[in-house]
Structure 1
């Protein structure tokens, strides 16, 4: 029997996942990790901020749907996710730029 149990592992999130920063209630997308911290950004762009994984939770389907926008947003983000999941860095960057351009030009 152990006197000092190991704390549970923090949840890990893949790049592009929608999460909620429970400290502020803000919806964000995971951009990457820096050491023990997770870097997140508002969907569609903006300034990144760092959060401990313990302060994040996955966004619900309803929270994601509210952020996804129009059909073109959904399509562009699906292409982005496929490129990221496939490890195609150049395509992932191009898809990310396309998503941000669309959000800026159509939903600004």
Structure 2
């Protein structure tokens, strides 16, 4: 494929990603996900025209990712923090740092149990 036009939506088969062409510089094409994000470079030979499903899948993936980030941010800013959750997390962090996989696994399981019981 020759270098596509700026604004075209293409599939980068080398990375298995869909992107919008932002620029063509020095024989390389700069792409960005249709919903935004970091640009990446691709060679024109790695690009194929995107079909309707490709662009739709990329947009859905972008919306899902933004939703996950917003939910994580909202959760991290929760005004009422659970002391038990905090203690389990701290213990798990310490176990992971110490390389104690058994303890880290036990605490991860304890967190799941606690979440189901205390935060339904």
- What stretches of structure 1 move > 4 A for 4+ residues in a row? none
Matched, 1:47 2:14: no
* TM-score, L = length of structure 2: 0.46
Q: Greater helix share, 1 or 2? A: 2
Shift of 1:43: 1.2
CA contact (8 A) 2:33 2:58 kept: no
The structure having more radius of gyration, on CA atoms, is 2
What SS does the corresponding residue of 1:13 show, helix, strand or coil?
A: coil
- Which fold has the larger relative contact order, with Cα–Cα distance below 8 Å and residues 6 or more apart in sequence? 1
Question: Which residue of 1 is the match for residue 48 of structure 2?
Answer: 57
Aligned residues: 64
- In 2, Cα distance between the equivalents of 1:11 and 1:61? 20
Question: Which residue of 2 is the match for residue 24 of structure 1?
Answer: 15
Shift of 1:66: 3.2
Shift of 1:68: 4.9
* TM-score, L = length of structure 1: 0.51
What SS does the corresponding residue of 2:54 show, helix, strand or coil?
A: helix
Matched, 1:66 2:66: no
- In 2, Cα distance between the equivalents of 1:65 and 1:14? 20
- In 2, Cα distance between the equivalents of 1:62 and 1:11? 22
What SS does the corresponding residue of 2:38 show, helix, strand or coil?
A: coil
The RMSD of aligned alpha carbons is: 2.1
